[in-house]
Structure 1
């Protein structure tokens, strides 16, 4: 366990993976992200986010401009390396270098990347950058306690459930209880090794189906 602060807040740099590239979110990603949100079922994936699906490309562009006006949250676009298209986005949130604590949030993984190597690698690249490059001690995941798919994803990724903040906020006219999850620096080496094993091309067949599950427990 380290008691040192992290080096800094994440900077606007590109994080390269095997399947995806994480780029600082920019206006030129708007068309791809809007297209993904208008796919069949794409709008429904905004159900648990702070915003609803964008109604137009102009609105998507405006959201990106607004997001880039501040430093927390700091969003990235998730670009599929094979196609060069942005298929989702996620953000750094609750950025506290002085405490070595940071959160992944605002996660929108479009249908083409959901439940694929791309989604897992997008999470892995954030965790690796936070722990290995920047020296964070704690990596957080939070979601509406009613969002069962998000809670299942957090558990699969190796986060530990820490509890529920009851009546934490009012969101979209509803009371939200917030489920808290985290992984910490002492757990990361074993988790990193398992991510890298699972993401290896050797773990997937010719149809892209996994041969073994991600075993973080």
Structure 2
């Protein structure tokens, strides 16, 4: 079968889940994102990102203006229970002509890190890319020193593809980049497992999982 390009780049839609809502990032998200980035332990989570934790509300607003003027398409991740923005992520390396797209720029704040909110935020991106837009390839990349990010990619069902050595200079340091991907042929089984895991029946009254996400077969 002849490979087909994706239908389009993401068009700035709001994506709704059970627990999260993904909205195109805008200045009105800045107060929440500034607050969550500066919780105790929050600034340290920017270690592997291209940017630093915002030092002021004005800095958060300026960063939002900057990314919205670029080629990547950032979204704010909202916790539907509170209505507050608790993280951000972006569509990157958007190549509809090749059917390939990346999730990057991920900052899942401490209120959502390692929770069903983070898993659903990833799932909503993957579902939109594969099911709505017809992408063939969904990418995840990170600094090779970022062990939590590599572990997350594996948990989410991405396949490790290899290492780009001395790929970038980031914050004055040489970065080796680890590449991961998920393909459209793998998505139906992964989608079923995400939906099973994200079901309310899989969580106790405190939000703890009853079973693990099993994406590795």
TM-score, normalised relative to structure 1 = 0.98
Q: Secondary structure at the match of 2:182?
A: strand
Long gaps (5+) in structure 2: none
**Partner in structure 1 of residue 110 of structure 2:** 111
For residues 51-70 of structure 1, what are the structure 2 equivalents within 5 Å?
51-70=51-70
For 1:199 and 1:85, the matched residues in 2 are separated by 20
Per-residue deviation, 1:81: 0.3
| Contact 1:2 1:137 (8 Å CA) reproduced | no
TM-score, normalised relative to structure 2 = 0.98
For 2:135 and 2:89, the matched residues in 1 are separated by 18
**Partner in structure 2 of residue 30 of structure 1:** 30
For 1:16 and 1:40, the matched residues in 2 are separated by 29
**Partner in structure 2 of residue 81 of structure 1:** 80
| Contact 1:101 1:140 (8 Å CA) reproduced | yes
For residues 1-217 of structure 1, what are the structure 2 equivalents within 5 Å?
3-70=3-70, 72-217=71-216
What's the Cα RMSD here?
Answer: 0.8
Distance 1:89 1:2, change over 3 A: farther
Per-residue deviation, 1:69: 1.2
For 2:103 and 2:13, the matched residues in 1 are separated by 16
For 2:25 and 2:171, the matched residues in 1 are separated by 25
Deviation per residue, 1:39-97 (Å, 9 max, x gap): 00010110000011111100100010111113x21000000001000000000000000
Per-residue deviation, 1:2: 6.2
For 1:33 and 1:207, the matched residues in 2 are separated by 24
**Count of equivalent residues:** 216
